[in-house]
Structure 1
Amino acid sequence: MKTLIISFVATLLLIICSILFFPCFGDTNVPRGLQCSEADYSVNEDGFHTNLKTLMDSLAANVVSHDGFYQTQVGEKANKVYGLILCRGDIAADGCTNCTLDSIKVASEDCSRSKEAWIWFRWCFLRYSNSSFFGVMENTAAAITNDTDFEDPSVVSEGFSFMSGLSATAPDQIYMFQTAILNVSQGGKRYGMAQCTRDINRRDCERCLNAQLVNFRMTIGNKRRWEIYGSNCFMWYNDYRFYSNVSTLLSGESCDLLPNHH
């Protein structure tokens, strides 16, 4: 697939910050975008459709027991389908399952005749294709910011260096997922998070995260809150703690209660 860079500015972050967050999480699970191929198969191609449904059922059934990331393939030859699901590393098991089911619902409704689809939610990422993409790093990505949400100029360089450091260290974590806190020199804190799909290797993970910072430098550079969603890696930057203290998915424990933020 050709490398595709998509940049769009949205007001979703403003909406998120105006509502009460669910207990246990500093954010809510909202859709972040989708990309579908053109209608690739007809209603008569029962083989592919059946395999796709089997694939989706398998992703939903296995993602939690595989630590928030699961990839599989179903079928043979022309009807073969490949897919993966990744949950954000701090999301608890029930949140991961619910996000997976939400993603599958969106795929079935909005990409109903597509042989390729990318579905981004804030808590998970679903992808499937009739061609194998496992282990292939791609720079497909979208950045979400807010036009009026500007960072203090004195913090801009600190924040960018902070996220650059996170892109260097996150790939070496056991699940290629990491959160970090920046103590701003002028006072206050910034919170960052980075994650990669676990089908790519650690060096590709680092390259993916670095590419996002480079490609969207002008979009995110002076923003206090931003998110980047890609095919292989993801980054979040905010002025409040939006993530859980621990990886509740991996620990199986109930998550810490975070304060509401407005």
Structure 2
Amino acid sequence: MTFVFCYPRDYKEMHTLNFAVLYVISIFLLFFPNGFCHADTNMQAGFQCSASDYSVNQDTFQTNLRILLDSLASNVVEHHGFYQTIVGKKVNKVYGTVLCRGDISANNCSDCTLNSTKVASNDCPESKDVSIWFRWCFLRYSNESFFGHMQPTAVAITNDTDFDDPSVVSEGLPFMSGVAAEAPEKSFMFNTKVLDTNQSGKRYGMAQCTRDISRVDCRSCLDDQLINFRTVIGNKRRWEIYGSNCFMWYNDYQFYSNVSNLLSDAWRPSSCTRLMIGMIIAVSAALLIFF
């Protein structure tokens, strides 16, 4: 985004002003490259590959798979971060799906999907049923249809030493149960919420389901995760759960963006971006007055 300020001053004054504005903006970006927000980063959370399967024609299947992966990567953004497709016929059919986390940008969704397809190709070259989990997206493909069928597969990620304040522990799971209850009712089955503990600051929760399952199954999927991993996550202040149809995140800092252009037809800057733009405008206006 470019800001142009036009004032009836001579070239020398405008040159000095432009240099000053650019200098201040450069210093700001140097010391605060992500604004004042604690930004989330994308990492691979895991992958699952089936055993090599030679019951189908490998050449035909691999050709169909390449077409499928390209289609997932090129269509996921315009379908609001969730896309499913089928390529091939009979035994050589490939079913594929990709889901991006609801808060990330379109560019991050696209990049994460591309990274997932590379991991699938490199780490599971002869597998027919593959799941790839990144923090920002989930990719799965199979030679058997799985669309609309809830899968129980899930893994919890936490740090064994990352214990929460005892006064907050009793609030964490009920809070995330509330996040889970609201997620299926959202238009994209994606929900974020904040818990203000007063004593130990805030906790941030997020839940999301793949959009091919029903809202009832979405709630059941999230509830099952909380039950199955209760002893693992119950006293932790940071944890993540990744499944085949639903996902949950809990943290003591705001790891997600308040706005996503994946879930809207119109582009809107994130809260971090709005903060940076506001500061740049304020600094520029102050320099205009000073000079």
Report if aligned partners of 2:206, 2:250 keep a CA contact under 8 Å in 1: yes
| Residue equivalent to 2:89 | 76
Which among 110, 130, 133 is matched to residue 123 of structure 2? 110
Which among 50, 57, 62 is matched to residue 49 of structure 1? 62
Q: CA RMSD in A?
A: 1.9
Number of equivalenced pairs: 240
Stretches of structure 2 that go unaligned for 5 or more consecutive residues are 1-31, 276-291
Report if aligned partners of 2:188, 2:263 keep a CA contact under 8 Å in 1: no
Report if aligned partners of 2:81, 2:109 keep a CA contact under 8 Å in 1: yes
Distance 2:118 2:160 in 1: 31
| Residue equivalent to 1:34 | 47
Q: Is the aligned partner of 1:192 residue 2:202?
A: no
Return the structure number with greater relative CO, CA threshold 8 A, min gap 6: 1
Stretches of structure 1 that go unaligned for 5 or more consecutive residues are 1-19
Output the amino acid matched with 1:153. P
C-alpha displacement of 1:41: 3.5
| Residue equivalent to 2:262 | 249
Using the TM superposition, name which of 211-220 and 183-192 deviates more: 183-192
Q: Deviations over 1:37-66 (max 9, x none)?
A: 011139962111111111001101100000
Q: Deviations over 1:147-198 (max 9, x none)?
A: 1110111111111100001111101000000100001142410000000000
Distance 1:256 1:202 in 2: 29
| Residue equivalent to 1:154 | 167
Q: Give the TM-score normalised by structure 2.
A: 0.79
Q: Is the aligned partner of 1:165 residue 2:178?
A: yes
C-alpha displacement of 1:21: 8.6
Distance 2:49 2:66 in 1: 16
Report if aligned partners of 2:259, 2:269 keep a CA contact under 8 Å in 1: no
Distance 1:104 1:42 in 2: 23
3-state SS, counterpart of residue 33 of structure 1: strand
Matches within 5 A, 1:1-262: 26-41=39-54, 45-251=58-264, 252-257=267-272
Report if aligned partners of 1:91, 1:123 keep a CA contact under 8 Å in 2: yes
3-state SS, counterpart of residue 174 of structure 1: coil
Q: Which has the higher helix share?
A: 2
Q: Deviations over 1:86-128 (max 9, x none)?
A: 0000010000000000000000000100001000000000000
C-alpha displacement of 1:81: 0.5
Distance 2:51 2:169 in 1: 40
Q: Give the TM-score normalised by structure 1.
A: 0.87
Q: CA 1:187 to 1:223, structure 2 compared with 1: closer, same or farther past 3 Å?
A: closer
Q: Percent identity?
A: 67
3-state SS, counterpart of residue 257 of structure 1: helix
C-alpha displacement of 1:209: 0.1
Question: Which of structures 1 and 2 has the bigger CA Rg?
Answer: 2
